[in-house]
Chain A
Amino acid sequence: MAEKELTQRTAWDKVLANLRKRSLWMLHYCTGCGAVELPPTMTSRFDMERFGIMPMVTPRQADILLITGYLSVKTLKRVILIYEQMVAPKYVVGFGSCTINGGMYWNSYTTIKALDRYLPVEMYLAGCMPRPEAIISGFNSLIDKIGKGEANSWKDYYENYEFYKKNQDHVFGDIETHHDVPADGRYFGILEAKR
């Protein structure tokens, strides 16, 4: 399906994607300790803004949800709320080993062990913690993916909502985000593409 979508891209889509990839805003949310490497990435030494990547404050404005490291269950709730508030296309980037397999908190009773069970992860940055260079290189590959139209993980959340919802419910029971994801998917025609 993904390939079909890729081949169906019109010239306009391609132009748009190449413009869009030049501006990526990252949600200003320090979910974990990896956030400490973000200020160096943003400021003079590594200067993320070169690539059009800026921190943005509220979920409505952000394109990238950077999960900076381990996610405690308490934070995961907020992250899901915030992810649902973000407007698509949106990309979840798992940052650090903890998002991949729990990292050094593999036996912790409060942190989740695999981020992609709860949110559709576009890409992972491995390491504990990844250096600013790694972050920038990771973002650059995200930029490439967006330019090629391959960064479509956000559609997965609409398409496989039951899977994510089931896992979320398993961890902390039901939460009220006031956001009807499947209805959203139908309204914006994201779910149609699947059929």
Chain B
Amino acid sequence: MSSIITANDGRDIMPGANAPENREYNMFIGPNHPGIEGNFALKLVVEGDTIVRAKTEAGFLHRGFEKLMEERLFIQNIAIVARICVPDPDPNEENYARAIETIANIEVPRRAQFIRVLVLELSRIGSHLFTFGGHAGTIGLYTLPNWSISDRDRVLELFEELTGGRVYHIYNMPGGVRRDLPSGFKQRVLDVMSYIEERLPEYDDIFFNNKILLNRAQGIGVLPKDKALEWGATGPDLRGAGFAHDVRKDDPYEVYGELEFEVPTGEASDAYSRLMVRRREIEQSISIVRQVLDKMPEGPVWNKQPNPLKWRVPAGDAYVRTESSKGEYAYYMVSDGGIRPYRVHVRGASVTHGVHILEHMLTGARIEDASQIMFSMDACPPEVDR
């Protein structure tokens, strides 16, 4: 009777008495999350709003490119390499073509070299504009993405005219480029360049000098200067820490050695300084594009290669590096003299930025900054996953 009333049924287990306190909990940023760049995941262990431990998780975009390349012909692979980094695909094409050229000692016509630089720099501009959009999105400023991504479309239209593809161009062939510039293309490129140049001050007004951005991005995601080299940062992330290293300068490829451009660097090594490095790189890229168009010689754009279906690249290996918009992008290609590459190792620019450096920088950060830190590193998950 009393047990009905008091519910005192002897089950006085009191399971909470000696239970541990739940202080830490998991937060997942990605893969289905707007605060993540692409299909990637940050698995955070959080206490309050401070990240105690951070772990990245990749592999959602893993397609096994390296394996696919081993199972396909040299010529087939041109079509798929661009897919390794989606926002900035051309360094892949460049690397792939240049690796074959290095192994097989293929000469690239001078005009083709200029065109390649043109394509690479346009791709860099597009990629940076894309990143600005993403970065602005992380602080909730949706006006800038609307502007910058639609401005990027102008660059994509140039690509479309030149190569037939908006995003993936399949344009660099071993031995040159697929086709010459269409007539009037130079002028259209110049128009787009001056358009973007005009737009940059507007971006400054709404984004780069925005009080909120200064408030949020400065002092966030600091990559310690003494650690930047040690942790293997490259590209804008390294330059944001004050080191003026650029593969285009240090290990020049194509005609970069003949072009004049500055390597912008930042001081504070925080999210804002990396962002500003990218912003100033756009100006440099515009200048490079102008120089390229100015200096571009006439001539053939492709040295004809043998029947692609029977094409055997001589045995050998090559390690080629390119400065992509994300950082150092390298391919290690081994050929055993067959019709397929024996091994292609893709060293994406983001393998350091998006994995270990990010994990280090997120530890101790706050969850409201996690996504911004990720975007400020501009890690590109497909490069990590391949």
Size of A's binding interface in residues, CB under 8 A: 35
Say whether, besides A39-B145, A72-B63, A30 and B39 are in contact (CB < 8 Å).
yes
- A33-B83, A57-B34, A104-B80 are known contacts. Are A75 and B149 too (CB-CB below 8 A)? no
In the assembled complex, how far is the CB of residue A45 from the closest CB belonging to chain B, in whole angstroms?
A: 4
Is B87 within 8 A of A32, CB to CB?
Answer: no
B61 within 8 Å of A by Cβ?
yes
Between B33, B130, B145, B150, the greatest number of chain A beta carbons within 10 A of the residue's beta carbon is seen for: B150
A88 at the interface (CB under 8 A from B): no
CB pair B83–A72 under 8 Å, yes or no, is no
Minimum C-beta distance from A113 to chain B (A): 12
A75 contact set on B, CB distance < 8 A = 31, 39, 60-61
Q: Mark A25-42, 1 if CB is under 8 A from B, else 0.
A: 001111111011101100
Cβ of B34 to closest chain A Cβ, rounded Å: 5
Q: Which of B63, B166, B167 contacts A108, CB < 8 Å? A: B63
Q: Is the CB of B60 within 8 A of A107?
A: no
Contact of B150 among A28, A36, A44 (CB under 8 A): A44
B67 within 8 A of A: yes
Determine the chain A residues whose CB is within 8 A of the CB of B359 once the complex forms: none
Residues from chain A with a CB closer than 8 A to the CB of B63 are 70, 72, 105, 108, 110-111
| Complex contact B39–A31 (CB within 8 A) | yes
Chain B proximity of A159: nearest CB distance (Å):
26
The 8 Å CB contact of A39, one of B59, B133, B166, is B133
Contact of A27 among B32, B146, B147, B152 (CB under 8 A): B32
Contact partners of A74 in chain B: CB under 8 A: 59-60, 62
Contacts of A109 in B (CB 8 A): 64, 67
Q: With A and B bound together, what is the CA distance between A131 and B168 in angstroms?
A: 11
Pick from B67, B68, B86, B153: contact of A45, CB below 8 A.
Answer: B153
Residue B175 at the chain A interface, CB threshold 8 Å = no
A57 touches B167 (CB 8 A): no
Q: Which residues of A contact B61 (CB under 8 A)?
A: 32-33, 72, 75
Complex: chain B residue closest to A35, CB-CB: B38
Are B166 and A110 in contact (CB-based, < 8 A)? Answer: no
Given contacts A33-B83, A72-B63, A75-B60, contact A40 B149 (CB under 8 A): yes
Residue in contact with A107 in the complex, picked from B68, B83, B130, B133, CB distance below 8 Å: B68
B200 close to A (CB within 8 Å): no
Q: Kindly supply a per-residue 1/0 record for chain A positions 66-96, scoring 1 wherever the CB is within 8 Å of any chain B CB and 0 otherwise.
A: 0000101011001000100000000000000
With both beta carbons as reference points, the residue of chain B lying nearest to A85 in the complex is identified as B32
Bound Cα distance A105, B72 (Å): 11
Query: Judging by beta carbons under 8 Å apart, are A129 and B80 in contact?
Result: no
**Is B189 among interface residues, defined by CB-CB distance under 8 A?**
no
Interface residues on B, range: 20 to 34
User: A110 contacts which chain B residues (CB < 8 A)?
Assistant: 62-64
In terms of DSSP, what is the predominant structure of the interface of chain A?
Answer: loop
Q: What is the CA–CA distance of A39 and B145 in the complex, to the nearest angstrom?
A: 8
Give the residues in chain B near A70, CB-CB below 8 Å. Answer: 63
Indicate whether B51 reaches chain A with its CB closer than 8 angstroms.
Answer: no
B64 and A40 within 8 A (CB): no
A72-B62, A107-B68 given as contacts; is B153 within 8 A of A40 (CB)?
Answer: yes
Bound form: Cα–Cα A135–B357 in Å: 36
**A35 to B150 Cα, complex, angstroms:** 15
Q: Residue of B at shortest CB range from A109?
A: B64
Which residues does chain B contribute within 8 Å of A108, judged by CB atoms? Answer: 63-64, 67-68
Q: Assuming A108-B63, A110-B64, is B39 touching A36 (CB within 8 A)?
A: no
How many angstroms between the C-alpha atoms of A138 and B375 in the bound complex?
Answer: 30
Name the residue of chain B whose CB is nearest to the CB of A33.
Answer: B86
B260 to chain A, nearest CB (A): 32
Q: Does B293 belong to the interface (CB within 8 Å)?
A: no
Max chain A CB contacts within 10 Å: which of B31, B63, B150?
Answer: B63
Give A108 to B79 CA distance when docked, in angstroms: 15
Complex-state Cα separation, A59 to B33, whole angstroms: 10
Residue A10 at the chain B interface, CB threshold 8 Å: no
Q: How far is the CB of A130 from chain B (nearest CB, A)?
A: 10
Question: In this assembly, does B71 line the interface, its C-beta being within 8 Å of a C-beta of chain A?
Answer: yes
Given A27-B32, A32-B61, do A107 and B167 touch, yes or no (CB 8 Å)?
A: no
Instruction: Please tell me if A43 contacts chain B, counting CB pairs below 8 Å.
Output: yes
Task: Give Cα A134 to B382, complex, Å.
Answer: 24
Residues of B within 8 A of A (CB): 31-34, 38-39, 59-64, 67-68, 71, 79-80, 83, 86-87, 130, 133, 145-147, 149-150, 152-153, 156, 166-168, 382
Since A75-B31, A78-B60 are in contact, a sample of 9 more A-B pairs with Cβ atoms closer than 8 Å, ordered by chain A residue number, is A28-B33, A29-B32, A30-B38, A31-B60, A33-B86, A40-B150, A55-B34, A75-B60, A105-B63
The 6 A-B pairs at the shortest CB distance, nearest first, are namely: A44-B150, A45-B150, A29-B32, A33-B86, A43-B149, A43-B146
In the assembled complex, 27 residue pairs joining A and B whose CB atoms fall closer than 8 Å, in A order, are A27-B32, A28-B33, A30-B38, A31-B39, A31-B60, A36-B86, A36-B167, A37-B167, A39-B130, A39-B145, A40-B152, A43-B133, A43-B145, A43-B147, A44-B146, A44-B150, A45-B149, A57-B33, A59-B32, A72-B62, A74-B59, A82-B32, A104-B79, A105-B63, A108-B67, A109-B64, A109-B67
